[in-house]
Amino acid sequence: MERLKEKFFALLRLGLGMEGQTPSGISLTPEEWSALYDMAVRQSVLGVAYAGIQRLPKDAQPPMELAFQWASEAETIRGHNRLVNGMATRLTELFAAEGRRSAILKGPANARLYPDPGMRQCGDIDIWVEGGRLEIESLLLKKGMLHVPDSSVPRPEFYHHFRLPEPVGGVDVEVHFRPSSGNQNPFSNARLQKFLESELENLVQTDAGFCSPSVRFALAMQLAHIQRHFLTSGIGLRQLLDYLVLLKHSSAADRDFLASRLRCFGLNRTAGALMWILHYGLGLSDSLLLCKPHRGRGFQMVAQAFAGGNFGLFGKARNRNIVAWWVYNWAHPLRNFFFDPVEVFWIEARYWKRFVASIPLRIRLRKISIRDVMARN
């Protein structure tokens, strides 16, 4: 399996056009190609992997049947990206008509930086809209994009976004009133959020018709996003490839700025792990690294990414009964305790605070799902 992972990384490096990566050395049996395809599905990087396949000599490419299937899915990804980009532009125009600045976070904003923007496998749309929680909620209700809350049921608290209950034009949408979910540590998170809020003054107008935050913003926000998901549920290679592409488009000033604030923002341990994966696994140049790579934490992160797939959605506990799911969800951060003890402490503190606070609600409603109560959001 380790050999197969190395071949998988080589294919991704080829797809991303990394310097020094050549088509030689990727020679696989039909069974190995099938396993590699499964890896690409689990990691949501089918498009990038297919871009690598296109650079291989014909005699080194997958068996014809699998190659046709892969090509078909890559074209589907390209079509979905066009749909997502169009919807991102429509949402931008919708909020602009209400006098609100907005910015597309992650997804389409990252895709435009890839060698071929159509290769990145986009999911939903995350859009930040200025105005704060109450104003954005009121605007979404006025537009019919949120359901009028039932006064008989206690309303959930949202820290950073509203997830629209129905797709918009076939695309799931999250409307952010804060730029990021940030960290669980309230002290480092306050510093991070303050920086992100200030950096939203520097939006970039894209050719696609929507606005994007600066690369400096994206480097900080998406590193926090990777950390949060890694520690609480799981992270996949798609998010790591996004970060590599961001670093390749960053300036030395951007990298120096974030490097000097990694500890202040509570991101230093995750940064060390990520730099190890990007450097040794994906061939990122030394000059583009934010900090010294940390092999132990990097190995832990990449092992978890392969075990759980994109956002941990392919982990074994995901498809088991509710009790197994709860045990997995509760124990996952504890398994990462030595990765970042401070952040995991705050994850647990917040979790048990919500758990205790929800007991009266669970008793009152009786029908509320244990999954809903115990999820770490």
Nearest-5° Cα angle at 179, 129 to 12: 110
The reported pLDDT for the residue numbered 372 is 46
In 3D space, the residue among 13, 239, 206 whose CA is nearest the CA of residue 112 turns out to be 206
> What residue ranges define each of the domains in the chain, with the CATH number in brackets?
1-62 (no CATH), 79-182+201-213 (3.30.460)
pLDDT digits (tens, 9 = 90+) for 311-330: 887 766 555 666 666 666 66
Q: Is 31 in contact with 61 (CB distance < 8 Å)?
A: no
Cα gap 376→373, rounded to integer Å: 9
Q: Is 309 in contact with 319 (CB distance < 8 Å)?
A: no
The reported pLDDT for the residue numbered 159 is 77
The three-state secondary structure class of 174 is strand
pLDDT digits (tens, 9 = 90+) for 121-140: 998 999 999 999 999 999 99
What is the enclosing helix (H) or strand (E) of 102?
strand 102-105
Query: Following CA atoms 223, 225, 229, 235 in sequence, which dihedral angle do they give, to the nearest 10 degrees?
Result: -60
Instruction: Report which residue type is found at 115.
Output: P
Average pLDDT, the chain: 89
Cα gap 330→376, rounded to integer Å: 9
Cα gap 147→133, rounded to integer Å: 16
Q: Which residues of the chain carry a pLDDT beneath 50?
A: 370-377
